[in-house]
Structure 1
Amino acid sequence: MDFQVLGSVTVRTRGQAFAVGEPRQQQILAVLLLDAGRTVGLDSLVTRVWGESPPKQVRRSLQAHITRIRRMLEQADPGSAWLVRDVGGYRLDISPDQVDVFRFRNAVRDESTDRAALAEALGLWRGEPLAGLAGEWAERTRRTLSQEHEAAVVAWAAAEIRAGQAAATVIRLTELLDEHPLHEGAAAVLMRALYAVGRTADALAVHDRIRRALRDELGVDPGPELAAVYEAVLRHDLPPGERTVPAQLPAAVTEFTGRADEIAELDRLAGRVGDGPLIVCLTGTAGAGKTATVVHWGHRVRDRFPDGQLYLDLRGYAPEKPVSPDDALGAFLTALLSGGAEIPLGVTERAARFRTELDGRRILVVLDNAASVDQVRPLLPGTGGCAVVVTSRDALTGLVALYGAHRVTVDQLPLSDAVTLLRRLVGPRVDAEPEPAATLAERCVRLPLTLRLAAELAVSRPAVPLTRLADELRAAQRTLDVLSGGDDQHAAIRAVFSWSLRQLSDQAVEAFASLGHHPAPTFDVHALAALAGQPLETARTLLSTLARAHLVQSAGVDRYLMHDLLKAYATETGDVDERSALDRVYAYYLATVAAAMDRLYPGEAHRRPTVSAAASPVPAFPGAGEARDWLDAELATMPALAAHAATQGRPESSVALSRLLFRYLDGRNETVAIYIHDHARVAAHAIGDRAGEATALHALGCVHTQAGRADAAVAQLSAAATLFKRIGDLSSQGRAVGAVGMVEERAGRYRPAIDHYTRALALFRHDTDLVAQAHVLTRIGTVQARIGHAAAVANLDHAMALHKQAGHPFGQAWAKLGLAEVALARDHLSDALTLHNEAVELFRSIGHLESEAWSMDGLGRTHTLRGHPALAAEHHRRALDLFVARGDRDGETWALNGLGEACRAGGDPASAHRNHTTALELAVRIGALEQAARAHHGLARVAVDTGDLPTAHRHYDSATAIYRDLTLSTDLIREELADLG
């Protein structure tokens, strides 16, 4: 018999619920249940049920209720004597484990870190405790139980977040906080959950909401736990256990069959994860299902690796170029690090950072399809706790000999498992024809890949006996035996492939063959149309046919990939003119990228290379949103295209791709941008294309500028300027010189920045590049506004006119930001607000998030000056999120300082101090001198507010020294010091 108080008071036995009776009767039973196994004195029982002033006949009423409760209990469990009259009172003679509240408390107390136990405990709650009962005792007990429930929800959510399941907690935590808006513990964990699922702005909004609620209702600030989480989210620096938890394992294959011994061995080895990293080599022939085995096993043991699962196809045996250790580390670090965290450039530095990130964590790393030990070595952890499973057709002897790896061989399936797989895929026909089914399995070499292809053919020909299918396959194999000179396994595999193709139309076979030459691992219908030289609708039909035949597989919405063994075989089939197919597919990609960029950045079309129209269909881009969506979807494809073009005889295409994507990659994935631009640099140098090499150097310099690597940026940009000068391209030389000016501007060295911009402008005026002139005039005017130069407005107005003449909304938005700086300097706050809002909308319409971040930061500064610090803080936080996501270190310092100023204006000196301190640390690290001085100035003001004058003077001195070095005004500091006396 079980008893429930976490909800309405209920008795259950053998799945049946029994009504306890009217509320007074329920309350008596509830009092006895909450003291299960112990005697409750009569006076105590009466007080808890009737209160401090019970009626005169209360003992008689109590006895009547006790009688009815006994009768109900006997009805639920005949012959029982649960309710006992004891000396001085009554006792419910049951075990506490029979009452839900005690089971709940035991689970929470004994298994506080076990998320499954916590989830089970929370499942015991069926509504409000003691539902429907009134009185002081019921209310007090209900309040206590509710507080225990709140604590359990918080503990469960924290455990889920540690296990990488943050998304599962957001709704429940949000509901809890809506019900209890002052619950700091719930707010802290909800902030962690929101941060973990990429909703940083929402996490910060939670903090703002509870901070306001605490002040309005209690007159206090958030406690240290919530403050620490707020700071960690703000700095994207969550403590261990709350870092990004990757979950990269692909979906497990359907109807996975067999491999019991291999999986048991993996389980045994996983139990040995400890002092050193566990390395397992899963080796075997192509098509044996190595990937399917490790993925199936990986999903089974996810709980053993609560810090995440990393997966990467190294393409060791694919027709494309294998993934380099450098790129593999970049991909893994992108998954492990918080958005915007800096990823080192060199392979040695990346490997060291990767080992650092894995230290102390329990992560499963799957390195699929490795070609060699050298490809794998930099991807190994340095300490225990992690497991690495490497799949390869190679024995990887070096990993076993040098690193103590354990080898698990995945070979052909046992015949019984092979037939079972056919049965699951084909159905009852296998049992009806057991011998032909076994023959068919043998003809498929008992490999999962070929068995699945054969099963699909059997399903597509339901009237054909399995005997005939096996005979057809045998005939195909004999033909290939003769051609290959022997009855080897590769001939058998190719026989299954050829047999699959024989069921297709000639057109579908040609489409399959053309996909073997695709330079990238994934593709869509437009890429197939280009490769196969077919109309779009025909390509769509062919792709559906290949997908049904399991010759391609889904890789996301409207995207596909092909098994590397099938891809290699595809290159052997059909009558495909590889050069023509590649000509068409590169023409398609270049034309589509150009069209998308023209839609997003029309004013810069003259800077991009002229691209010939594609012979195949290209997507339509009616608006900027569609163009941006296509580029985002193809972002993972572009590096493969760039590398293939650079290394496989198409260097011009690599150079063109870099030039076309320059503005799109600006402020996006730094690793991808460097990869594409560096391949273009190498390709251009190899063919003596000095203009292309200089353009790639310029692009690389801009990436380094944004990442705060000033020395690397100046080196690349100066080399670009030199090359442009040699070939007489004055406009491009001007862009490189102007980019060096941007490095100076970001450091706060405004006068050297103006000098570089002025030199650039002189170079631009040798040609008719209106946009280039407008861009540099925008920068000159903006910097002049910051130092109070009278010519700022004239330069910015001229820039705006040129941008409008060129039809360049991106440039117009930046000119508006410059004019907003002028308005702020002149205290024209309404004008500044209008200009910043207009810039936000323009940047948002073209999807340039980094530029949107700068306009949001300007809005924040404007609202602080207008006396709206809370609104200012919201804009600075939004800007900070965008800067961090885009890796713009300089922008981070601006947003952090702006947030510090807003917090101080809003009466929150502690938060102001945190933000200015973080800004100072980052500014010093990247050499953003003016923002370092601004941070010192902000810290000085906070110190004055808190009465710490010695600290204030130290910060004032530091700010003054930096401003003087930068030849910037210190008048405001002198005025503030004068006020201090």
Structure 2
Amino acid sequence: MEESFAAALRQTRRSRGLSQEALAERADLSTKAIGLLERGVRRHPHLTTIDKLETALHLSPAELAVFRRLAARKSAPAGPDTSWVVADQLPTTRASFTGRARHLEQLKRALTTGEAQAGATVIVTVRGMAGVGKTALAVEAAEACRATYPDGVLSVNLRGFGSGTPLSPVQAIGQLLRATGVPAELLPTDQTDAITALRTRLANRRVLLLLDNARDVSHVTDLIPSTRGAAVLITSRNTLTTLPARQHIQLEPMPVSDSVKLLTSSSGTDRLGDSADQIAALCGHLPLALSVAGAWLLQHPDTPAAELVRRLADETHRLDLLGVDDRDVRASLSLSVDHLTNSPRPHDHEAARVFTLLGLTAAGDFTAESVAALLQTAPARAGDLLEHLTDLHLLESSTPGRYHLHDLVRTFAHELGRELPEAERAATVDRLLSFYLSAAWRSGDLADPQAARNAWPGRPPTPKFPVFKTSEQALGWLDTELANYLAIIDQTAALGTHDEAVAGVVVGLYSYFTKRGNLVDWLPAIDRVLDGRIDRWTYAQLQADAAIALAELARYDESAIRFGLARDAFETIGNLRGVSLTTTNNARLLVRMGRYAEALPLAEQALAINQQLGNTRALGASYGTLTEIHTELGDWAAAEAAATAAVEQYTAAGSSGYAANIRIEGAWARARSGHSDVAIADLTQSLSELEKLGLHKSVCDGRWVLGMTYLLRKELEQGIEQAELALEIALDVQDIRREAQVRVLLGELLNEIGDRDEAVANLEFAIAFYRQHHPGKATDAEALLTKVRNETSA
């Protein structure tokens, strides 16, 4: 070939039998560009053009080397002109490195096997949040692979996240070339020249490049050689998955065992004892934080490790402790946020704002919808910002669509949030509370649009998002958001500036808690907001809700007190509907306690109030309570009449679920009065409707009644089948009261078929519950147990 790029290209093209037009099409270049190159008008084409020509012409390694040499400007250092130095830029000691065995093995395999030895350049990336130990792992892997790369290991800190400005390609290439022996006076200053010089210098060399702390993909693109046998190991806080890497490794905080080992080794002490696990957890299992904590222990040899636990437990000063010398968790995290705030891109600035706003909320995790509410933007836009923060490892996402902050990152975000003006902090809390408030009430509307609680004066409009079309969709969404709801309730209640709104959230969650049976969380949430400055109606409604929760927990005496407080409050403000509801519920509580004679006058009082109000649904509730009372008192005719009236009222009100429930009560009255065939038909119809509505507890009650009916008919196998189905539901919803009730039925049925061991086990469970919560029922169950044992001994 002639010694010019133009001649070399022209001769090679012709040897391949290609026209300029054909080569241009293959190389994705214009015909004009090929002509300019072959006429020598463009004597020094860009490296990307060489890459395209390599592919289009199928250049051999020798031909490619010639093309690159001829394309290079004379100022670029040529390989033969400068002697090669075997580079070794890795730290001489890595004594603090601990753990990461699996990731280290992955890196070693990627860098020492397969393509790494066969000839092609291998690219491997390690990404993760600040302080997670990316550099330490990369250095350890490079050291382990040193023998595979006889021409040396080159390392450069690109300062993508750090003090000062990131290294430019020219600066980074300059450092790499100097490490191979190129004199300072020969280093190129033009970026194109520098790229060419690096690739020429590394041609046919077996080198490993460690490009540490890259900002993003564009930061490393020009530093990756195309030489065979080389490898590039890149670390970054950003996600670099668009690079054609052989392997992308995501580095997470350390496992507990490795955290304790690192803490022990960095503290140089074995005095940690039980405090080791606590310190590791408070450090978020982050290697940087663990090493700083170890240094603190090293500097305070006479201080018990428990004292460090106590200090770290104070979140407001935790990051103050985790900073020593050049190791500082706060500073390291700050660099990631500074990368966004100092960026020229508006998208980065908005992401930085999102991160700061997230520090103002107690929510455990976030979605595009909740962040959209914070920003007053569309969920799609919020989702893009969350993904951007995740790419930078300021956020984590273990479940698609849900994002959370690492514990120490959350602490840092809290600090940034507290620096915002008071007005902005207050507005952020307002927006998030409004989001959760409207979603809770939308769920309640779908579950029961005619509920009395809809009278709450602060009831919000239907939210734009999330969008629920069915009650079951809303309940499913609330399942995933319950922990956030509880956290937001605690946070806003503590502020004392949103008392009525946060109380409204709890009022709005009534249907969720009653349907899901999550009473353990419900009652504390009610009590959390009752002492706030809230409307009298809100106070009364919450006391009534607390009474219902206490009744479900079989804390009957406490429930009765709460119903009394609720009724007094409703009477004070002249709310007859509230008085009616609390009176009806108090009557039902007495029914549950077996005090039917006391319950009857209360149920009749509620009925009279509801007749005065003309409220069909409330009338249905009164008649329903009377149905159960008359059944237990043995007045079958009155029970059937009340059940019929209740179903009529509920049907007129459009409350099909309540109507189905009352048919169960009426069916039990019919079964006990000797009309079991009609009772079974009614129960079958009611169960079908209740199952479609997803009212699991009511289905449990219906199957219990059906099992009791089969017991009356001595159809024992059918009875056992229904009881077992009822027990399965009670266990699923964790309703111990219903579980005890069903186990008594099972005990009696199993005894009837001669399976007395199982009968005893079920009865013993029920008795243990009733002795604590319902002594009257405990006596009945104990009598049955005695009977079973006597029959066993006989």
User: In which range does the TM-score fall when normalised by the shorter chain?
Assistant: 0.5 to 0.7
Q: Distance in 2 between matches of 1:591 and 1:534?
A: 16
The alignment partner of 1:560 has SS state of strand
- 1:680 equivalent to 2:529? Answer yes
CA shift for structure 1 position 617: 2.9
- Return the letter of the residue paired with 2:593: A
Q: Following superposition of structure 1 onto structure 2, how do residues 66-77 of structure 1 map, counting pairs within 5 Å? A: none
Per the alignment, do residues 933 and 574 of structure 1 end up closer, same or farther by CA in structure 2, a change over 3 Å counting? closer
Distance in 1 separating the partners of 2:668 and 2:692: 22
Superposition deviation, residue 811 in structure 1: 0.9
Asked if the contact 2:341/2:348 (under 8 Å) is kept, the reply is: no
Instruction: Tell me the equivalent position of 1:549.
Output: 392
CA shift digits 1:395-416 (9 cap, x unpaired) = 88xxxxxxxxxx9x984589xx
Given the superposition, is the C-alpha separation of residues 576 and 410 from structure 1 closer, same or farther in structure 2, using an over 3 Å criterion? closer
Deviations along 1:545-587, whole A, 9 cap, x unmatched?
A: 2222223222644222232212331453699833433333222
Query: Cα–Cα, structure 1 residues 550 and 392, in superposed 2: closer, same or farther, change >3 Å?
Result: farther
Q: Specify the code of the residue in structure 2 equivalent to 1:253.
A: P
Letter in 2 for 1:938: L
Compared CA separation, residues 616 and 884, structure 1 to 2 (3 A)? closer
CA spacing shift, 1:497–1:291, aligned 2, 3 Å: farther
The one-letter amino acid paired with 1:542 is L
The partner residue of 2:605 within 735, 759, 765 is 759
User: Match for residue 327 of structure 2?
Assistant: 446
* One-letter code aligned to 2:327: R
For 1:189-228, list aligned pairs within 5 A. none
Aligned pair in 2 of structure 1 residues 294, 508: CA closer, same or farther (>3 Å)?
Answer: closer
Asked whether 1:717 is paired with 2:560, we answer no
8 Å Cα contact 1:764-1:773 kept in structure 2: yes
Instruction: Answer yes or no: is the 8 Å Cα contact 1:803–1:809 preserved in 2.
Output: yes
Determine whether 1:795 maps to 2:788: no
- CA shift at 1:781, angstroms? 0.7
1:519–1:640 Cα contact (<8 Å) kept:
yes
Aligned equivalents of 2:703, 2:454: Cα separation in 1: 28
The question of 1:635 aligning with 2:482 is answered yes
Task: Please tell me whether the aligned partners of residues 253 and 296 of structure 1 are also in contact (alpha carbons under 8 angstroms).
Answer: no
Does the 8 Å contact 1:529/1:616 carry over to 2?
A: no
Between the aligned partners of 2:289 and 2:550, the Cα distance in structure 1 is: 41
Output the CA distance in 1 between the equivalents of 2:621 and 2:287.
53
Partner SS state of residue 794, structure 1: helix
The answer as to whether partners of 2:330 and 2:412 remain within 8 angstroms in 1 is: no
Q: Is the CA contact 2:340–2:351 (under 8 Å) kept in the aligned structure 1?
A: no
- Cα deviation per residue 1:179-227 (whole Å; 9 max; x = unaligned)? xxxxxxxxxxxxxxxxxxxxxxxxxxxxxxxxxxxxxxxxxxxxxxxxx
Deviation readout 1:36-80 (Å, 9 max, x if unpaired): xxxxxxxxxxxxxxxxxxxxxxxxxxxxxxxxxxxxxxxxxxxxx
Contact kept in structure 2, 1:747 and 1:928, CA below 8 Å: no
Q: Which residue of 2 aligns with 1:253?
A: 253
* Alpha-carbon displacement from aligned partner over 1:810-852 (angstroms, at most 9, x marks no partner): 3122112112212321333343333333333433334333323
* CA displacement at 1:261 relative to structure 2: 4.4
Which of these residues, 266, 285, 298, is aligned with residue 292 of structure 1?
A: 285
Q: Write the deviation string for residues 354-402 of structure 1: whole angstroms up to 9, x where unpaired.
A: xxxxxxxxxxxxxxxxxxxxxxxxxxxxxxxxx9999565488xxxxxx
Q: Contact (CA 8 Å) 2:763, 2:785: kept in 1 or not?
A: yes
Q: Distance in 2 between matches of 1:268 and 1:644?
A: 39
* Counterpart-to-counterpart distance in 1, 2:271 and 2:729: 40
Change (3 A) 1:859 1:413: farther
Amino acid at match of 1:860: G
Contact 2:282 2:313 in 1 (8 A): no
**Partners of 2:731 and 2:739 within 8 A in 1:** yes
Quote the Cα distance in structure 2 between the aligned partners of 1:759 and 1:575. 52
The question of whether the paired residues in 2 share the 8 Å contact of 1:770 and 1:802 is answered with yes
Residues 749-781 of structure 1: per-residue CA shift (max 9 Å, x gap): 212122222222223333243322212211211
Q: CA-to-partner distance for each residue in 1:700-759, whole Å, 9 max, x for gaps? A: 111111111121111111122122212211221222222222221112121212222222
Q: Which residue of 2 aligns with 1:825?
A: 672
Partners of 2:353 and 2:502 lie apart in 1 by 27
The answer to whether 1:700 aligns with 2:546 is yes
Counterpart of 1:525 (choices 368, 375, 379) is 368
Instruction: Mark the runs of 5 or more structure 2 residues left unpaired by the alignment.
Output: 1-250, 291-304
Cα shift readout 1:477-518 (whole Å, capped 9, x = no counterpart): xxxxxxxxxxxxxxxxx7577558978434333333433333
Find the partner of 2:468 among 616, 621, 630.
Answer: 621
1:42 aligns to what? none
Amino acid at match of 2:745: G
TM-score by length of 1: 0.48
| Residues 1:589 and 2:436 are matched in the alignment | yes
Aligned partners of 1:741 and 1:864: how far apart in 2? 28
Deviation at 1:900, TM superposition (A): 0.7
Deviations 1:312-361 (A, max 9, x none): xxxxxxxxxxxxxxxxxxxxxxxxxxxxxxxxxxxxxxxxxxxxxxxxxx
Q: Determine the structure 2 residue equivalent to 1:843.
A: 690
2:617 is matched with which residue?
A: 771
Matched letter for residue 606 of structure 2: A
Counterpart for residue 420 of structure 1: none
Larger Rg: 1 or 2? 2
SS of aligned partner of 1:292 = coil
Q: Does 1:733 align with 2:579?
A: yes
Mapped to 1, the partners of 2:544 and 2:450 lie a distance apart of: 19
- Residues 19-40 of structure 1: per-residue CA shift (max 9 Å, x gap): xxxxxxxxxxxxxxxxxxxxxx
The equivalent of 2:263 in structure 1 is 262
Q: Give the match for residue 156 of structure 1.
A: none
Structure 1 position 507 matched with structure 2 position 350: yes
How far, CA to CA, are the matches of 1:724 and 1:786 in structure 2?
30
When normalised by structure 2's length, the TM-score is: 0.58
The one-letter code of the counterpart of 2:381 is T
Other-structure match for 1:913: 760
Tell me, in whole angstroms, the C-alpha distance in 1 between the residues paired with 2:310 and 2:340. Answer: 21
Distance 1:558 1:663, change over 3 A: same
Q: Secondary structure at the match of 1:554?
A: strand
Q: CA–CA distance in 1 between the matches of 2:446 and 2:629?
A: 30
State the alpha-carbon separation in 2 of the partners of residues 267 and 608 from structure 1: 65
2:15 aligns with none
Superposed, which structure 2 residues align to 1:407-426 within 5 Å? 411=322
Counterpart AA for 2:778: A
Q: Give the aligned length.
A: 520
* Distance change (3 Å), C-alpha of 1:616 and 1:817: closer
**For the Cα contact (< 8 Å) 2:489–2:525, is it kept in 1?**
yes
The Cα of 1:866 is off from its aligned counterpart by 4.3
Q: What aligned pairs does 1:452-471 form with structure 2 within 5 A after superposition?
A: none
1:886 positional shift: 4.4
Which amino acid letter does the alignment assign opposite residue 370 of structure 2? A
**SS of the counterpart of 1:599?**
helix
Which residue of the other structure, out of 742, 758, 762, is the alignment partner of 1:895? 742
Q: Residue 290 of structure 1 aligns to which amino acid in structure 2?
A: C
Provide the C-alpha distance between the structure 2 equivalents of 1:389 and 1:824, rounded to a whole number of angstroms: 68
Structure 1 runs not aligned, ≥5 long: 1-250, 273-277, 298-386, 397-406, 415-444, 458-493, 949-981
